[in-house]
C-alpha cells in the first residue's frame, strides 16, 4: 500500500497538504481569508511553479474519479486559485473591508468537487 | 470613444422620472416593510427558479419566501406538470418537506404520516376510518398560482392573482422572450445572509458607478477604462415596474504579467471573456438574442435584467447568472446567486472554473461586505434623502415602483401608467 499523500512527482509539496488540500470551496476560501499574507505566500511560491506540471499530470486521469493522491493534488490547485486572489489581486489576504468569517457561502460548487 | 461620449443624462427621463433627491424611508421603515409584505411580495409574480431544477417526473424542491412566511413546495408530477403548493400538511399544518429538494412519488408528512402525490392530491391517511367525514378530494395540498415562462417558474401568492403573468411582464416579456439559457441545468449556488434592507443589496447590483471604487483590483479594470472611468451605462430601458441596463466593459483588459495563476487558468480554455466560465461556441444562440448586449458594442461587460420586484437576470459574454434578493426583515436579506456554468470535461476546464468562481466570490464579497454599512447609515436617520445620478436611474425606478405598489390598494392601480 502506498501511503504518499501526493503523486510521487509532487512529493516536495506534501508539507502543504494538511493545510491547503481542503475538500470544499468554502473551507479553502475561509482558510485563505483568515491566513497571514506570509503564510499564503509560502504556499503560493511553492505551488505556482508546479501548477502546469500538476495539470499535465492530472490530465492522465478521468476527471470525476481521481485516485486519492491525485484528488489531493487537484484540491491543492483549487487552493492555489484561492491563494492567487490574495497574491495576484488584493495584495492582502482578503477583501480589506470584509469581516471574518466571510459571509458568502457556496452551497453548490462546480462539479466534480 | 472619449469619456464624454458616455454622458447620456437621459436614463432618468426615459424611466419617466424626475431628477432630485429620493426618500430613504422605504429602506429603513418597519411600517413600510409590512406594506411590502402584503402589497409587493404578496401580489407580484415571483421567480422561484428554473424548470431544470426539477427535471425528472416526481421531483420537487422547497423555496422559502420569508417576508410572506411562505414555504413553497414546487413539484413536477408524473405527467411532467410543474405546480407550486404551500408546503403545509392539510392535517395539522406541519411543514411537509424539510429537504431543499427530492424525488419521490409519495410525499409523507413526518408528523402523523399523511401522504401526498406530487400532483398535490392526498393519497394516504393512517387510520382514516377515525376521521369522520373526511373527503380526500378537498384535503389535498393548497395550490399556489404557478406559470412557467421560458423555463422560469413564477408563482403568485394571491389566492386569485389580480394580474396575469403576461400582463405583469408586459413589454419586458417581449424583450426577453425566447432567450436561450446555456448551461441552465448546472448552476453554482451561492448564498449570503446580509444585514441590510433587500433594496440596499439589489441596488448594489443595479449600477456600475461603484465598480471602479469598491472593486478596484477584482474587476475595476474590466468594467472601466480611461474612456469610461466611472462606469457610465451604455443603455437603459424601462418596462412598467421592470428595468434593464447594459454596462460598459474594457475590451483591452488582459491579466498583468505577475498574475501567473490567472494566466494559467485561462491559457487553454476559451471563455469569450476574462471573467467567465462559458465556452466560446456554445454561446452563439444566446449572444445572438437581440436583448443581449442590445447596442452590439465591443465595450460590453454585462446586462442587468431586473424583474420586479426582487430578481436579476444578468447576461454577459460567458453566459447568464441570477440574483434573488429575499427580504427576511426590514433590515436583513437572504441573497441568493446562481452562476450557470458548463460541465467541466477536462482538468483544465475544471481548474479554470475554480479560478472563475474564486474571483466572482471576491467580487461578491466586496459588494456584500459594504451593505451593512449602508444600512447603518440609513438607519442613523442622519439624512432624509439620497442623491442619485443619471446612471443610477435603475435605483430611482426601483424605489418609485416599490413605493407605488406599496401605496396602491389594487394591483391595477400599482400597474397603471
Ligand atoms: S400534521 Fe401532517 S400528518 Fe399530522
Ligand atoms: Fe459590485
Going from N- to C-terminal start, the domains of chain A cover 13-90
Going from N- to C-terminal start, the domains of chain B cover 3-39+172-415, 44-161
The reported pLDDT for the residue numbered B2 is 52
**Position A4 confidence tier, pLDDT thresholds 50, 70, 90:** very high
User: How much is the average pLDDT of B65-86?
Assistant: 98
Nearest CB among B191, B265, B344 relative to A110 is that of B344
- Please answer whether residues B97 and B73 qualify as being in contact, where contact means their C-beta atoms are separated by less than 8 angstroms: yes
The per-residue pLDDT for range B3-56, each reduced to its tens digit, is: 456 777 899 999 999 999 999 999 999 999 999 999 999 999 999 999 999 999
The per-residue pLDDT for range B130-152, each reduced to its tens digit, is: 999 999 999 999 999 999 999 99
**Position B400 confidence tier, pLDDT thresholds 50, 70, 90:** very high
Sort out which chain B residues have CB atoms less than 8 A from A82's CB and list them: 358
Q: CA of B235: how far to CAs of B199, B273, B300, B412, in Å? A: 22, 20, 11, 29
Residue B221 scores a pLDDT above 90? no
Tell me whether strands B143-149 and B82-86 are parallel, antiparallel or unpaired: antiparallel
Sort out which chain A residues have CB atoms less than 8 A from B217's CB and list them: 89-91
- Using CB distances shorter than 6 Å, the residues near ligand 1 are B 89, 91-92, 94, 109, 111-114
The per-residue pLDDT for range B176-215, each reduced to its tens digit, is: 999 999 999 999 999 999 999 999 999 999 999 999 999 9
User: How much is the average pLDDT of A35-60?
Assistant: 98
Residue nearest to atom 3 of ligand 1 (CA): B112
Sort out which chain B residues have CB atoms less than 8 A from A84's CB and list them: 259-262, 355, 358
| Distance, first Cα to last Cα, chain B | 37
**Mean per-residue pLDDT over chain B, rounded:** 95
Contact A85 B358 (CB under 8 A): yes
Sort out which chain B residues have CB atoms less than 8 A from A99's CB and list them: 369
> How many CB pairs lie under 8 A apart between chains A and B?
119
| Region for residue B271 given its phi and psi (left: phi exceeds 0; alpha: psi -120 to 50; beta: otherwise) | alpha
Sort out which chain B residues have CB atoms less than 8 A from A111's CB and list them: 186, 343-344
Q: Is residue B412 within 8 angstroms of chain A, CB to CB?
A: no
Residues in contact with A110: Cβ distance below 8 Å, sequence separation at least 6, in sequence order = B188, B277, B341, B344, B350, B353, B354, B357
Q: Which of B85, B87, B107, B112 to mutate to test the pocket of ligand 1 (most atoms within 8 A of CB)?
A: B112
Q: Which triple of cell numbers denotes residue B227?
A: 474612456
The more confident residue out of B251 and B362 is: B362
Q: For B339, which residue in chain A has the nearest alpha carbon?
A: A110
Contact A104 B350 (CB under 8 A): no
Distance (Å) from the C-alpha of residue B193 to the closest C-alpha of chain A? 7
Residue B288 scores a pLDDT above 50? yes
pTM above threshold 0.90: yes
Q: Is residue B364 within 8 angstroms of chain A, CB to CB?
A: yes
- Please answer whether residues A51 and B261 qualify as being in contact, where contact means their C-beta atoms are separated by less than 8 angstroms: yes
For residues B365 and B360, give the distance between their C-alpha atoms in angstroms, rounded to a whole number.
9
- Please answer whether residues B327 and B66 qualify as being in contact, where contact means their C-beta atoms are separated by less than 8 angstroms: yes
Residue A100 scores a pLDDT above 50? yes
Sort out which chain A residues have CB atoms less than 8 A from B64's CB and list them: none
User: How much is the average pLDDT of B348-360?
Assistant: 96
The reported pLDDT for the residue numbered B42 is 98
Distance (Å) from the C-alpha of residue B192 to the closest C-alpha of chain A? 5
For residues B408 and B51, give the distance between their C-alpha atoms in angstroms, rounded to a whole number.
32
Residue B96 CA to ligand 1 center (angstroms) comes to 8
The reported pLDDT for the residue numbered B278 is 74
Nearest CB among B218, B261, B343 relative to A81 is that of B261
Distance (Å) from the C-alpha of residue B14 to the closest C-alpha of chain A? 35
Interface test with A, best of B193, B365, B368, B376 (most A CBs within 10 A): B365
**Position B100 confidence tier, pLDDT thresholds 50, 70, 90:** very high
**Position B274 confidence tier, pLDDT thresholds 50, 70, 90:** low
Residue B101 scores a pLDDT above 70? yes
Contact A81 B265 (CB under 8 A): yes
The reported pLDDT for the residue numbered B269 is 77
Sort out which chain A residues have CB atoms less than 8 A from B258's CB and list them: 88
For residues A56 and A48, give the distance between their C-alpha atoms in angstroms, rounded to a whole number.
14
The reported pLDDT for the residue numbered A3 is 75
Distance (Å) from the C-alpha of residue A11 to the closest C-alpha of chain B? 20
Q: Is residue B328 within 8 angstroms of chain A, CB to CB?
A: no
For the CA of B96, the nearest atom of ligand 1: 2
The per-residue pLDDT for range B102-118, each reduced to its tens digit, is: 999 999 999 999 999 99
Residue B207 CA to ligand 2 center (angstroms) comes to 8
**Position A57 confidence tier, pLDDT thresholds 50, 70, 90:** very high
- The ipTM value here is 0.98
For residues B259 and A80, give the distance between their C-alpha atoms in angstroms, rounded to a whole number.
12
For residues B196 and B198, give the distance between their C-alpha atoms in angstroms, rounded to a whole number.
6
Distance (Å) from the C-alpha of residue B66 to the closest C-alpha of chain A? 19
| Closest by CA position to A62, among listed A74, A50, A51, A52 | A74
Contact A55 B347 (CB under 8 A): yes
Contact B361 A29 (CB under 8 A): yes
Residue B59 scores a pLDDT above 50? yes
Contact A107 B359 (CB under 8 A): no
**Position B275 confidence tier, pLDDT thresholds 50, 70, 90:** low
What percent of chain B has pLDDT above 70?
Answer: 98
Residues in contact with B92: Cβ distance below 8 Å, sequence separation at least 6, in sequence order = B111, B112
Residue nearest to atom 1 of ligand 1 (CA): B92
Closest ligand to residue B107's CA: 1
DSSP class of residue B295 equals T
Closest ligand to residue B128's CA: 1
The reported pLDDT for the residue numbered A1 is 44
Closest ligand to residue B95's CA: 1
The per-residue pLDDT for range A63-83, each reduced to its tens digit, is: 999 999 999 999 999 999 999
Consecutive H or E run containing B319: strand B319-329
Name which CATH class applies to B3-39+172-415: alpha beta
Neighbours of B112 (CB within 10 A): 13
CATH T-level assignment (fold) for domain B44-161: Rieske Iron-sulfur Protein (2.102.10)
Residue B89 CA to ligand 1 center (angstroms) comes to 6
The per-residue pLDDT for range B152-164, each reduced to its tens digit, is: 999 999 999 999 9
Amino acid at each position: 500500500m502506498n501511503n504518499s499523500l501526493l503523486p510521487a512527482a509532487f512529493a516536495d509539496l506534501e508539507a502543504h497538504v494538511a493545510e491547503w488540500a481542503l475538500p470544499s470551496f468554502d473551507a479553502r476560501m475561509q482558510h485563505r481569508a483568515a491566513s497571514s499574507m506570509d503564510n499564503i505566500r509560502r504556499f503560493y511560491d511553492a505551488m505556482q511553479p508546479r501548477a502546469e506540471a500538476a495539470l499535465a499530470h492530472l490530465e492522465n486521469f478521468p476527471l470525476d474519479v481521481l485516485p486519492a493522491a491525485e484528488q489531493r493534488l487537484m484540491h491543492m490547485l483549487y487552493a492555489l486559485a484561492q491563494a492567487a486572489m490574495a497574491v495576484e489581486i488584493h495584495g492582502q489576504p482578503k477583501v480589506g473591508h470584509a469581516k471574518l468569517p466571510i459571509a458568502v457561502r457556496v452551497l453548490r460548487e462546480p462539479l466534480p468537487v | 470613444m472619449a469619456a464624454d461620449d458616455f454622458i447620456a443624462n437621459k436614463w432618468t427621463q426615459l424611466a419617466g422620472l424626475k431628477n432630485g433627491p429620493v426618500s430613504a424611508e422605504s429602506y429603513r421603515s418597519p411600517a413600510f416593510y409590512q406594506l411590502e409584505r402584503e402589497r409587493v411580495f404578496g401580489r407580484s409574480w415571483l421567480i422561484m427558479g428554473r424548470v431544470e431544477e426539477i427535471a425528472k417526473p416526481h421531483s420537487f424542491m422547497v423555496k422559502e419566501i420569508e417576508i410572506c412566511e411562505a414555504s413553497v413546495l414546487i413539484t413536477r408530477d408524473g405527467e411532467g406538470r410543474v405546480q407550486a403548493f404551500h408546503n403545509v400538511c392539510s392535517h395539522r399544518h406541519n411543514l411537509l418537506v424539510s429537504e431543499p429538494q427530492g424525488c419521490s412519488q409519495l410525499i409523507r408528512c413526518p408528523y402523523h404520516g399523511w401522504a401526498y402525490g406530487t400532483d398535490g392530491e392526498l393519497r394516504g391517511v393512517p387510520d382514516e376510518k377515525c376521521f369522520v367525514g373526511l373527503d380526500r378530494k378537498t384535503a389535498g395540498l393548497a395550490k399556489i398560482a404557478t406559470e412557467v415562462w421560458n423555463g422560469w417558474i413564477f408563482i403568485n401568492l394571491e389566492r386569485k392573482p389580480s394580474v396575469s403573468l403576461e400582463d405583469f411582464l408586459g413589454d419586458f416579456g417581449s424583450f426577453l422572450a425566447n432567450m436561450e439559457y446555456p448551461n441552465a441545468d448546472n448552476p453554482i449556488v451561492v448564498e449570503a445572509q446580509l444585514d441590510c434592507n433587500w433594496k440596499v443589496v439589489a441596488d448594489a447590483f443595479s449600477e456600475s458607478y461603484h465598480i471602479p471604487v469598491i472593486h478596484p483590483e477584482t474587476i475595476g479594470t474590466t468594467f472601466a477604462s480611461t474612456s469610461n472611468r466611472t462606469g457610465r451605462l451604455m443603455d437603459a430601458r424601462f418596462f412598467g415596474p421592470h428595468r434593464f441596463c447594459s454596462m460598459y466593459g474594457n475590451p483591452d483588459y488582459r491579466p498583468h504579467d505577475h498574475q501567473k495563476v490567472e494566466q494559467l487558468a485561462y491559457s487553454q480554455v476559451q471563455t469569450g471573456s476574462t471573467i467567465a466560465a462559458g465556452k466560446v461556441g456554445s454561446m452563439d444562440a444566446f449572444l445572438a438574442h437581440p436583448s443581449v448586449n442590445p447596442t452590439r458594442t465591443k465595450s460590453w461587460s454585462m446586462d442587468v435584467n431586473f424583474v420586479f420586484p426582487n430578481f436579476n437576470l444578468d447576461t454577459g459574454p460567458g453566459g447568464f447568472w441570477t440574483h434573488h434578493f429575499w427580504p427576511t426583515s426590514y433590515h436583513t436579506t437572504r441573497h441568493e446567486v446562481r452562476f450557470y456554468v458548463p460541465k467541466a470535461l477536462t482538468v483544465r476546464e475544471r481548474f479554470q472554473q475554480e479560478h472563475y468562481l474564486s474571483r466572482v466570490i471576491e467580487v461578491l464579497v466586496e459588494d456584500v461586505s459594504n451593505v451593512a454599512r449602508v444600512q447603518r447609515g440609513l438607519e442613523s436617520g442622519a439624512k432624509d434623502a439620497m442623491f442619485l445620478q443619471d446612471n443610477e436611474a435603475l435605483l430611482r425606478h426601483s424605489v418609485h415602483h416599490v413605493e407605488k405598489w406599496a401605496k396602491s390598494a389594487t394591483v391595477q392601480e400599482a400597474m397603471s401608467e
